[in-house]
Structure 1
Amino acid sequence: MNKKQLKIAVFHNLPSGGAKRSLYTYIQYLTQQGHIVDVFIPETANEEYLPLENVANNVIKYEVKPSFIREKIYQIFSYVPAIIKQVSVNNVMKTEQKIAEDLNNSSYDIVYCEQDQYTMTPVIFKYLKKPSIYYCAQPIRNEQILKKVNNQKTKAGIFNHPLIKPFAQMFIDQIETRDYERDIEFAEYSTNILTNSYFTHENILRQYGKNSRVSYIGVDNQMFTPLNLERDNYVLSVGTCIPPKGYDFLIRSIANIPQKIRPELVIVGNSSDQLWIEYLKTLAKENKVELDILTQISDDDLIRLYNKAKLVVYAPYLEPFGYVPLEAMACGTPVVGVKEGGLRESILHNKTGLLTQRNEKDFANAIIKLLEDQELWNKFSANGVKYIESAWTLEKAGKRLLNNMYKIIEENK
């Protein structure tokens, strides 16, 4: 097949975070290879974090009408569940229909779609007639464990009032059910699904009854690279500061490390839940664990933190893939992670890091092992850098994506 230059339309309605970083790097690779990449987004998409105008040929933004009622709710009440969105989801979907109609009348070879922060599977597939790809990082998650960990969070404000709480919870449950059913419906319109891990591939089969191709993401190892800095006595974890990321598990695990070698825990998040932050600070104080939580730091600062950390520790619940271990290994920092989800596909146990059961003492012992065995630490550090170079660079990830695009275009002829 002749690998011609492609004209690619990209749709996303993502927040900040790992998925947006992955999208940014994909577009960067595609444009560097000479392909035309234009981005079509509703104005609700996050373009402050890693703005795509820096790497795409064009970014076309579409208006989303605001919701008057939701804006007033946010102004009146001190706490509103995140599930109650400030914009009207119906208005977001109308905007996506307009984007689809414009793309149907365009000359693009393929439309590459990321997930939607409001509906998970974007409604755009319902209206698209061009060959398209849905990069599904995860289906909507309704695992029981997530409900349990989210219930740990102390809620405040009017929705915690004894007379209102049952009705508020019933309302939230109804919205979650509706969102789940809508995700299932919209996914049915998608025809070519790519995903980030075989773990997620299985979840897509389980939830949508649809097949998907695994197209592993990559990390910029020209940016995330060893700086040969002196290591400080802290372990690092990265990700939004919310209950499913497992930071409370990390605190309790570190509390099992003898005080004389116990490292500080540094958490970096692109955004955070303030109520959960306060809970974590209290938990850390009770367990005599030094804790520092940072938000919205620069990439340069993040890279320095990776390079100065003794280890990266990572314990989210059933993480679909996880960018963090790749960034850590690229910087030559060994990883201790829970043996769940996509982490089993990125961390090489006993080669680039250690994987344990979700057991606080086991996790603590893995940290101790690497803190005390410098020879093993050095081995894991060197292996991690080589491992990223061999399989997880942006170029390799970009080639995987591009090959899938050519296959899908050929299949749609």
Structure 2
Amino acid sequence: MASKKQNLRIAFCHPDLGLGGAERLVVDAACELCDHGHTVDVYTAYYDKNRCFKETLTGQFSVTEAGSCFPRTVFNRMHALCAYVRCMLVAMWIAYVALRQTKQYDVIFVDQVSAAIPVLLLLTRSKVLFYCHFPDLLLAQKRSGIHGLYRWPLDAIEELTTGQAHQILVNSKFTQGIFRETFRRLDRQGKVPEVFYPAVPIPMDDELAEAQRTWRTVLKPELAAFMEGKHVFLSINRFERKKNLALAVTGFKAMLEEHCAQPGVADSILVIAGGYDRRLAENREHFEELMDLVAKCQLQGKVMFVQSFTDAERGALLAASCAVVYTPTNEHFGIVPLEAMAAGRPVLACNSGGPRESVLHGTTGLLAEPQPDAFARAMAQLADTSRAQTIGKLAREHVHQKFSRQAFGDRLNDIVRKLAANRI
């Protein structure tokens, strides 16, 4: 293995390199490790150059698709089992590449699917770092007795294989606590994961000013016209039921009805922008459910949906908004609040999970119970332009101090060097 002064060969094993919070962390980690002089290769079971973060296209690190020959589902079922198999195939390919090149990776970064870990331990001599975004067994809803039987061995495998990693990281203190409560056997063995917060790039002041000047030309004409001259509440999340996007709609409706006399409320609109993948039935179905909810609430003309967007469009949406509404409950961490605060926008989030660690209530944003009336009261406060701007400025300073990419990269570099040098 490499000594401390040598640059390392690092591989990433990730299930689906699309456009999500987990993918954002992987891409950020890969970029930062490259910036620290390491050679980085990313391996994934799915990669679409038309639906990815732009950093994956620059050539700073390689991206290799492997394991895609195995299906994502079996008749739209067994998602977890298929993900396990696909990631194990990715792990086998990593081992094959290392064997073919006759040079082992020093560290392999695995996230989301721990089933890849024993394959890597068996077929390579690399140190394995596992990043737990959240225990998968808690994300899977047991829908029936048969489904429970199907999940039981997968859940057991998750705990067993997670514990085999040389080091375990989690994205928040909230997730750390859930990890210890969930994987009790690992906790008894003293395997307590280390908290390692995600990070975001902090835009320069001139970049934010440019986005403010040009957002009308960056966004599609219909959307730009809809947002022009309005107090824009922006929701950014994938179109998945667990993201609780309906709360943004019902909270917005309650604000219009109950706080219409407060400054800025009457001129407010809601834009719901999110990752949308036609391959996923839930994305398609939930989008229709939200459309129906908007019609039921009679909010046509007040709410607009955006199905996926580019990085430039994300910046334009943030520049045109007065605040960002983040609706998931018990979110493991949540990268969107960081992105919003980095752009100088206050955040309204649920008073649970990771946002309680990233959003300072009353200073960089507001935390509220996940009820329409509570969200309505908070949104009405942020409809006040002066207050929103004051909070947004403090939010930007907060993210710069605690969640910058530089601090993230320096710490990750220290972690992988120690791991490669057998000092962890």
Q: TM-score when scaled to structure 2?
A: 0.79
Whether the 8 Å contact between 1:240 and 1:269 is mirrored in structure 2 is yes
Distance 1:278 1:294 in 2: 13
Among 226, 234, 238, which residue is 2:232 paired with? 234
Q: Match for 2:108: what amino acid?
A: V
Q: 1:69 to 1:395 in 2, by over 3 A?
A: closer
Q: How far 1:286 sits from its partner (Å)?
A: 2.0
Distance 2:159 2:292 in 1: 39
The question of 1:184 aligning with 2:159 is answered yes
Deviation per CA, 1:110-129, whole angstroms, max 9, x where unpaired?
2222223xx67755455353
Whether the 8 Å contact between 2:36 and 2:413 is mirrored in structure 1 is no
Q: How far 1:362 sits from its partner (Å)?
A: 1.7
Q: 1:62 to 1:2 in 2, by over 3 A?
A: closer
Percent identity, aligned pairs only? Answer: 23
SS class of match (1:10):
strand
Q: Which runs of structure 1 show a deviation greater than 6 angstroms over 4 or more consecutive aligned residues? A: none
The question of 1:274 aligning with 2:284 is answered yes
Distance 1:147 1:291 in 2: 30
Moved more, 201-210 or 226-235: 226-235
SS class of match (1:350):
coil
Distance 2:359 2:150 in 1: 36
Distance 1:67 1:393 in 2: 38
The question of 1:313 aligning with 2:313 is answered no
Deviation per CA, 1:38-96, whole angstroms, max 9, x where unpaired?
23x254355641263525443344354335994xx4xxxxxx357388x6854652442
The question of 1:384 aligning with 2:381 is answered no
Whether the 8 Å contact between 2:13 and 2:90 is mirrored in structure 1 is no
Show the counterpart of 1:112.
109
Among 23, 28, 51, which residue is 1:20 paired with? 23
The question of 1:97 aligning with 2:100 is answered no
Distance 1:333 1:243 in 2: 25
Distance 2:247 2:78 in 1: 23
Among 197, 203, 217, which residue is 2:172 paired with? 197
Show the counterpart of 1:159.
none
Among 43, 47, 54, which residue is 2:58 paired with? 54
Residues 55-204 of structure 1: matches in 2 within 5 Å? 55-66=59-70, 70=74, 73=75, 80-81=76-77, 83=79, 89-90=84-85, 92-100=87-95, 102-103=97-98, 106-116=103-113, 124-127=119-122, 128-142=124-138, 147=141, 171-204=146-179
Show the counterpart of 2:32.
29
Distance 1:68 1:294 in 2: 26
Whether the 8 Å contact between 2:14 and 2:87 is mirrored in structure 1 is no
Q: 1:88 to 1:37 in 2, by over 3 A?
A: closer
Whether the 8 Å contact between 1:121 and 1:183 is mirrored in structure 2 is no
Whether the 8 Å contact between 1:14 and 1:115 is mirrored in structure 2 is no
Moved more, 227-236 or 356-365: 227-236
Q: 1:103 to 1:345 in 2, by over 3 A?
A: farther
Distance 1:180 1:303 in 2: 39
Deviation per CA, 1:244-287, whole angstroms, max 9, x where unpaired?
10111222211211344253221111225222122212222222
Structure 1 residues not aligned, in runs of 5+: 74-79, 152-168
Distance 2:256 2:275 in 1: 31
Distance 2:344 2:15 in 1: 33
Q: Match for 1:380: what amino acid?
A: I
Q: How far 1:147 sits from its partner (Å)?
A: 4.5
Distance 1:347 1:69 in 2: 37
Deviation per CA, 1:319-352, whole angstroms, max 9, x where unpaired?
1010100111111111111111100111111111
Distance 2:202 2:172 in 1: 20
Q: 1:134 to 1:92 in 2, by over 3 A?
A: closer
